[in-house]
Structure 1
């Protein structure tokens, strides 16, 4: 308890710990609303937590400190409302190194990261929406992958961060979203948010953190489908689930899961009793080579 008392005494807690405390409050509020099946409970949780942050800033409990990554939670319209120009980043590609080895390794790295991030998210969200078939496959996944690849390419041409499938989509699934209308509605709202950037940019990380925690909880339920009596299935699934948050990447978690799955089955001889596709073994080799050379 001494570090905690010292932090309270010198004010460090109130300058750095209040964000974590507000995030915890937001998680509890969001969980209660989800339990009560309040429509838009996750969004309400974000807004309420943000509101509490505003109150804390106005009362001096929350003190913005950019050096500590703590910014003001009050919207600022000092620069007015306008959509930033794309000119500085639009079509700013450099193909001078396209025939070099470094370019190939970078291209393959991005390809694997984007591909397996997308596959992991699609399967996870589809599982939550109960859209997988009896074999655990997503019917007509080609269309979803094509849409994702077009969006990724378009985003790159515009100079934005990678446009891809995000696991936050499960928040929409949790409140009943099952069709393309959900995605279209989200797209329209994202477009409108361009004109209200000062408002949305002021929403702090501790206000959105509860939503991400709840989304993580929703995704964890998929682990119930793992056969924990089969160690060759359960251990790789566990390794993949643990690796994703610690390595901060869905694709890295999938890589660890595939490598461990192949290694355990080969070394234990269980591969003889399984009808595992040869593609899995090829992927395991590719993932290992990626870690060695990239």
Structure 2
């Protein structure tokens, strides 16, 4: 096992990788409850959706572990599930079966493009400054999510989008305690600091009756049959539905590329040219997962930014992902136990991780506005639109545009023009109320 995952080359161990896997799982276990809750708005039954979510995450993460051998977990994407539920189904009036058909088509396209190495060619065409901005943007995006989950930041009043949270709330106070605990432990170089902080905050939350104990710790997995293989391919292939398929494809593509590059930069897995070696392998894991997910009854899946939590704990190989996959499979029977972790407990991990992911901004050339502005737009729009895809496409669009307008068009690789064109179609076809 150590030879298979190349522990010696990555200077890691079973203990380090296991702690990393547990940490990643704890920071993303919320998806077991949140994804079905969002998709229920589209008409997908919640209980079968829980099983579909877990199986999709486990399948993709196992492929990532054993084939790609990278410490990245895979699960249904949050932005894509909301797009399917609230835009495609509730706003535009399509059925969830047709929407899942579109996800399947996107997955097949991903697989084909990965096999022919088109996706890796496009990823390598992205300039280094944008790759840095992906890492920074994802880090601050995680921080913003964490601040909201802990309650340090809340929705604002008219005229102010956000405001300071309620510092008298027990959950906020526990979140602050957990955050400080993790930071102090990390300052003392304590291994497993993040998972210690999450577990301690959860236990205290239960003791102080902020978080209720579940009625059961063990349960049989809900029957997935009502949503299994229910996708409507015929409806998804209708020419009128093409813009939706295109949007799902683009959103998932840019989310995956940005997440893989951002996480790999933090894990020091990029080569001297700023590229992820054999990037087509984690991309294939993502593509296969996206193809299988709609067959199971859930939406687009891909590499999860919460994998950064495990990377911070030293996760460097596929064994980290294997631990995550095993925990997801166990959660089929222990879902009440795994989902007891409250938002203010896993939120502290996201805040801490964000602080570690902003370092690459120092590698952006601040004296060259054609490098700085696309990176700046990527980071800021990723956070302020609460959408990784929007942030990334803004950078992919403005980079070649500014280069051409300033006489530096030769700096733009051919693949960047393809990415810019794809990014533009997102804004052209994206449906608005």
TM-score over 0.5 (shorter chain): yes
Please, what is the CA RMSD of the aligned residues?
A: 2.2
Comparing 280-289 and 116-125, the one that deviates more: 280-289
Q: Is 1:49–2:201 an aligned residue pair? A: yes
Tell which has more relative contact order, 1 or 2 (C-alpha 8 A, sep 6+). Answer: 2
Distance of aligned partners of 1:38 and 1:161 in 2 relative to their CA distance in 1, 3 Å threshold: farther
Moved over 6 A (4+): none
- SS in structure 2 opposite 1:177? coil
- Whether the 8 Å CA contact 1:124–1:222 is kept in 2: the answer is no
Question: What is the correspondence of 1:118-137 to structure 2 with a 5 Å cutoff?
Answer: 118-137=256-275
- SS in structure 2 opposite 1:97? helix
CA distance in 1, matches of 2:318, 2:166: 45
Question: What is the correspondence of 1:1-294 to structure 2 with a 5 Å cutoff?
Answer: 17-57=169-209, 62=210, 72-77=211-216, 81-271=219-409, 274-294=410-430
CA distance in 2, matches of 1:220, 1:156: 34
Segments of structure 1 that go 5 or more residues without pairing to the other structure are 1-11, 63-71
Comparing 17-26 and 29-38, the one that deviates more: 17-26
- Whether the 8 Å CA contact 1:50–1:73 is kept in 2: the answer is no
Residues 2-61 of structure 1, C-alpha deviation per residue, up to 9 Å, x if partnerless? Answer: xxxxxxxxxx958x843333323222222222222222211111112212322332xxxx
Per the TM alignment, residue 156 of structure 1 is displaced from its structure 2 partner at its CA by: 1.7
Structure 1 or 2, whichever has the larger Rg, is 1
- Whether the 8 Å CA contact 2:400–2:412 is kept in 1: the answer is no
Number of residues of Structure 1 aligned to a counterpart in Structure 2: 266
Per the TM alignment, residue 285 of structure 1 is displaced from its structure 2 partner at its CA by: 3.0
- Whether the 8 Å CA contact 1:26–1:46 is kept in 2: the answer is yes
- Whether the 8 Å CA contact 1:232–1:261 is kept in 2: the answer is yes
- Whether the 8 Å CA contact 2:397–2:420 is kept in 1: the answer is yes
Per the TM alignment, residue 101 of structure 1 is displaced from its structure 2 partner at its CA by: 3.1
Segments of structure 2 that go 5 or more residues without pairing to the other structure are 1-164
The residue number in structure 1 matching 2:153 is none
CA distance in 2, matches of 1:95, 1:162: 15
Comparing 40-49 and 18-27, the one that deviates more: 18-27
CA distance in 2, matches of 1:187, 1:113: 24
TM-score by length of 1: 0.83
Per the TM alignment, residue 190 of structure 1 is displaced from its structure 2 partner at its CA by: 1.7
- SS in structure 2 opposite 1:237? helix
Per the TM alignment, residue 215 of structure 1 is displaced from its structure 2 partner at its CA by: 2.2
TM-score by length of 2: 0.57
CA distance in 2, matches of 1:293, 1:181: 40
